[in-house]
Chain A
């Protein structure tokens, strides 16, 4: 497999915690500009895979490359975020005591050291970018509200908006529609499809209806490695996948 022209390249990655193999010889390749859905039962290693990509967990063995040439195992969370990988958590995590606008201000791409932040003045360009993101995530009306006062679904959107503000090349989105209403789920699918036009996206999701709506290539993980890969119809027709989901 060639690494060039890939945005994310995992080869033979393994990691274990106290003897438990969370990820077992996992190989996964994502092309530039691709959107991929990752499914799999609980404990399949979906979140651990994201931890490895974002630098939270170091793999015991295997290669993890970003953008064809950057070895992610040599960098920590902050560095990886600066290189252009954004991550949305399973549980919506926003800065609750700040307004929506301030949440975005803190996320906007720019210098990440203390003194520039201390003497920072918001530029016209930044305000324009915030307006744009608020429009994309449909949160314009809530601009000055505290993030704590948002509904669950709106918090998910705000977090996606914060990722957009980072201007990443690759977004890792962990269960974006958990706990959402049907209307909100539809809206989220629209939002992610919009984002995928210009960036690479990895979506981890349980909700098959939502995955179908995205209409992208699906990878099914099981016990830390790839079980099946292909279109949703192909994957859901795979007997092993059915077996894993329904239990033996």
Chain B
């Protein structure tokens, strides 16, 4: 049973990714907490915090891959769902501060006291309970995506136009959250967190726990997306990407197909944001910046869209590079990012994972072409793009998603 499960190439790769993430979730906290700092195996706290943050980014990139890689919806506003999830978590963390704020008000967060507010706005109620905040982390981005998608997909807005309105959505939220009257701390956002579930957010153990939670959430995200993509619905999703009108004339409602993926993706992005906020200790309107959402697209493109594993690799690599680069040559980071996107589009159109697959396929074909006549060097066959016959049985699993169309 499991043997068949791990048989196909892409499936095996995804299963390995999940296993690695789960292992990392266990091993890294142990190496951080239980191993003495003098040991060579000790993982310093700052690494735990940094990589924990990257894992949240990876989950965000994975969420984007579901809609962009498999359904061709290039969302340039996924940062908005991430930030909304983050704000929901931030509101819970603010309520946990209680009397320990600068003004010592047991009910109102500091910024509300500062603005002379007398009572808690209605939408802040309930956020003193973790379960409520956790629910909102998923519900708010999911609901926004549902409503937004309902209108956009029903009106058959596609391609570049859809990308532009997703961008407009995150920009509108950016402006809205900047206002003090919105009741989300305005420009400064939410910060100075103290506790999460009664544990100090600054403590090493809490950080390790958040790291583990991020890794597990990412593993779960990969698993869920994998199951979705492997189902009949997943095939339908790719069918909508490749020939939307065909699916309509077969009786499918393409708008509902897209809406489901878009909503699931937004929920995943919200969870990523919620895990991100306690690890970085702040959430402010800057997270809604359209540039952030575009960066997510860059990670996904670098890793290889429509591959599930690619976006994770892309997010980890690009952010790792960013951390190093902004330390070494702070002024040049944006140039490097722009250059990277241009280079990937030109030289690695399928991303790292896509290139790897292509290379593996051509190697397999070359070997298949070489075996029949052992003595004679295969001169002609090597260069010929042989019809994918032998590879076709294993490779066109729905998981490698075929060839995604350019930004559609």
Contacts and interface: CB of A to CB of B under 8 A. Distances in A.
Interface of A: 54, 77-79, 81-82, 86-87, 89, 93-99, 102, 105-107, 112-114, 117-120, 144-146, 148-149, 162, 166
Contacts of B246: 89, 93-95, 162
Nearest to B395: A146
Given A98-B238, A114-B256, A106 B232 contact: yes
Interface string B221-250: 000000010011101101100110111111
Given A96-B402, A97-B238, A149-B392, A81 B251 contact: yes
Q: Looking at B251, B260, B401, which has the most chain A CB atoms within 10 Å of its CB?
A: B251
15 contacts: A78-B251, A82-B251, A94-B243, A95-B235, A96-B402, A99-B396, A102-B398, A105-B232, A106-B252, A112-B252, A114-B256, A118-B228, A118-B233, A120-B231, A144-B396
Contacts of B251: 78-79, 81-82, 112, 166
A117 B250 contact: no
A26 to B, nearest CB: 21
B235 A102 contact: yes
B4 interface: no
B373 to A, nearest CB: 25
A144 B392 contact: yes
Contact of B392 (A77, A96, A118, A146): A146
Contact of B233 (A107, A117, A144): A117
A151 B238 CA distance: 21
B387 interface: yes
B388 A107 contact: no
B403 interface: yes
Contacts of A113: 253, 256
B257 interface: yes
Contact of A149 (B239, B256, B388, B403): B388
A107 B245 contact: no
Nearest to B396: A146
A215 B196 CA distance: 78
Contacts of A112: 251-253
Contacts of A146: 388, 392, 396, 402
Nearest to B245: A93
- Which bracket fits the contact residues of B? 20 to 34
B403 A97 contact: yes
A146 B389 CA distance: 9
Given A87-B249, A117-B236, A146-B388, A98 B396 contact: yes
A93 B245 CA distance: 9
Q: B interface, by DSSP: helix, strand, loop or mixed?
A: helix
A79 to B, nearest CB: 8
A1 to B, nearest CB: 28
A106 B392 contact: no
Contacts of A120: 231-233
Interface in B354-408: 387-389, 392-393, 396, 398, 401-403
B401 A118 contact: no
Given A96-B242, A98-B238, A112-B251, A117 B231 contact: yes
Contact of A114 (B248, B257, B392, B398): B257
Interface of B: 228, 231-233, 235-236, 238-239, 242-243, 245-253, 256-257, 260, 387-389, 392-393, 396, 398, 401-403
Contact of B231 (A78, A81, A95, A118): A118
Contact of B396 (A78, A93, A97): A97
Q: Looking at B246, B253, B388, which has the most chain A CB atoms within 10 Å of its CB?
A: B246
A81 B248 CA distance: 8
B148 to A, nearest CB: 18
Contacts of A79: 251
A140 to B, nearest CB: 15
A113 B392 CA distance: 30
Closest 7 CB pairs of A and B: A97-B402, A81-B251, A117-B233, A120-B232, A118-B233, A95-B239, A77-B248
B232 A117 contact: yes
Nearest to A105: B232
B243 A118 contact: no
A139 B151 CA distance: 40
A113 B243 CA distance: 18
A148 B402 CA distance: 10
Given A81-B248, A112-B253, A118-B228, A95 B392 contact: no
Contact of B387 (A78, A82, A97, A149): A149
A95 B243 contact: yes
A166 B231 contact: no
A184 to B, nearest CB: 19
A106 B242 contact: no
A106 B249 contact: no
B242 A97 contact: yes
Nearest to B387: A149
A96 B242 CA distance: 7
A94 B393 CA distance: 19
A78 B248 contact: yes
A216 B231 CA distance: 43
Contact of B398 (A87, A98, A117): A98
A166 B257 CA distance: 19
Nearest to B261: A114
Contacts of B242: 95-97
A81 B250 contact: yes
A48 to B, nearest CB: 15
A144 B401 contact: no
A25 to B, nearest CB: 26
A107 B250 contact: yes
Contacts of B236: 106, 117
Contacts of A106: 232, 235-236, 239, 247, 250, 252
